[in-house]
Amino acid sequence: MAAEDAQLNRRLPALLVALALALCACSLPQPYRPPGGGGTAVPPRPAEPAAASSPATAAAADITATPQPPTRDYHLGPATQSLVAQAHAQVARGELPGASTTLDRALRIEPQNPLLWIELARLRLAESDARQAEACARKALALAAGDPNARAQAGRVLADALRAQRRNQEARELESEPWMR
């Protein structure tokens, strides 16, 4: 009897793990469905137009076929907004390394937000690290597609970073871009 109990005690953890896995497999979560009804409706594709009858209709078809990038307006979430405010206060007190750490924390929360990369670029300029400021501004510019305001802000910081590296011609060329106005 004691041998059977010892053998059961050795097998018990494995049995419990197997039981837990079996129970978990039976209760898989349902796929996400947006509120307001069933699944996501896919709009029907329009029928392909017949061959264009004139060059004007062919040109009109080409214009409508080119998708425009969606417009977007980036904002900071509550947590990142608080961290950016904290970083601004640290910069005002001259605590640049602390502000850098704070902005790094914000970037871990929202790494795809160009506004945070713009803030980091400005901080790098304040630290006299123009190369890092340029890299951060270029990252912000890449992420800001669809948001004209964020794109212009990133462009201005990039121009400042280029000037800090004495690349004035590149900065002027960048500022002459239509999207910078």
pLDDT tens digit sequence for 98-154: 999 999 999 999 999 999 999 999 999 999 999 999 999 999 999 998 889 999 999
Task: Give CA–CA dist 82/107, Å, rounded.
Answer: 12
Q: How much is the pLDDT for 68?
A: 53
Residue 73 has pLDDT above 70, yes or no: yes
What band does 178 get if pLDDT is binned at 50, 70 and 90?
Answer: confident
Classify 143 as helix, strand or coil: helix
CATH top-level class for 78-180?
mainly alpha
Residue type, 43: P
163's tokens:
């000037």
Domain boundaries, the chain: 78-180
The pTM score is: 0.61
Helices (H), the chain: 2-26, 55-65, 78-92, 96-109, 114-126, 130-143, 148-164, 168-175
